[in-house]
Homo-oligomer: A and B are copies of this chain.
Amino acid sequence: MRVAYNEQMTELADLLGEMAGLAGVAMERATQSLLQADLSLAEQVIGEHDKITELSTICEERAFALLALQAPVAGDLRSVVSGIQIVADIDRMGALALHVAKIARRRHPNHVLPEEVNGYFAEMGRIAVSIGAAAREVLETRDPERAARLREEDEAMDDLHRHLFTVLMDREWKHGVAAAVDVTLLGRFYERFADHAVEVGRRVIFLVTGKLPDDTETAVKDADNLTSYPEL
């Protein structure tokens, strides 16, 4: 019984790591499809999104079964409860990658991005992939210090997001309102992707230590990102 139980706990953790991996790959491909106006990559992200949704359902079912059949306590209970919360964050990361791919597909064969902001999205994509991989690593290692460092990568994302708004709001923006709308939404998708990765890190810290880190230390306040876009 105990062996089966441990196996189930490990399996849940593995599934979460696998989901995070898929979300990271999806964002990597979505970013390429965006930067290269690559329709087939966009289609691939869109076609494979169901895998993330399915894993999400499986994780929730496994976590529920563990609670129902094993009534775990202490650290194990924290693991399962955190797992239920983490599923929602990773699921959302996958949905955000899907959104990026859908915008790339919608504008094909045109490029979505004015060349002027390509560099921003190349870098935001790089950070998204990196923070996604870090979230996966944290799920596997359960290293609370590594989890806390996710915030640093997110800060780099926030900086880029702020700069992007500066470019958008500049009187020199010559690409019209439609491109500005796309860039606004895309910027928000990348920023939220990183926020959810940070949230995964916070949940892992809770899972290991029994305490959620203070928001001011390691959490990302989405609200703060927003207030920081430049005053007009």
Q: Which residues of A contact B (CB under 8 A)?
A: 57, 63-64, 67-68, 71, 73-74, 77-78, 81, 84-85, 88, 95, 98-99, 102-103, 106-107, 165, 168-169, 173, 176-178, 180-181, 184-185, 188, 212, 222-223, 226-227, 231-232
Contact = CB atoms under 8 A, between A and B. Distances in A.
A170 to B, nearest CB: 9
B64 A102 contact: no
Q: How many chain copies does the complex carry? A: 2
Contacts of A226: 99, 102-103, 185
Contact of A223 (B68, B98, B181, B227): B98
Given A188-B188, A232-B178, A73 B81 contact: no
The secondary-structure label for the interface of chain A is helix
A181 B68 CA distance: 47
Given A84-B81, A168-B181, A178-B169, A95 B232 contact: no
A70 to B, nearest CB: 10
A88 B67 CA distance: 20
B169 A222 contact: no
A79 to B, nearest CB: 12
A29 to B, nearest CB: 16
Contacts of A106: 227, 231
B223 A95 contact: yes
A15 B161 CA distance: 35
A178 to B, nearest CB: 5
Which 6 A-B pairs rank lowest in CB-CB distance, beginning with the nearest?
A: A71-B71, A184-B184, A177-B180, A181-B184, A169-B178, A173-B177
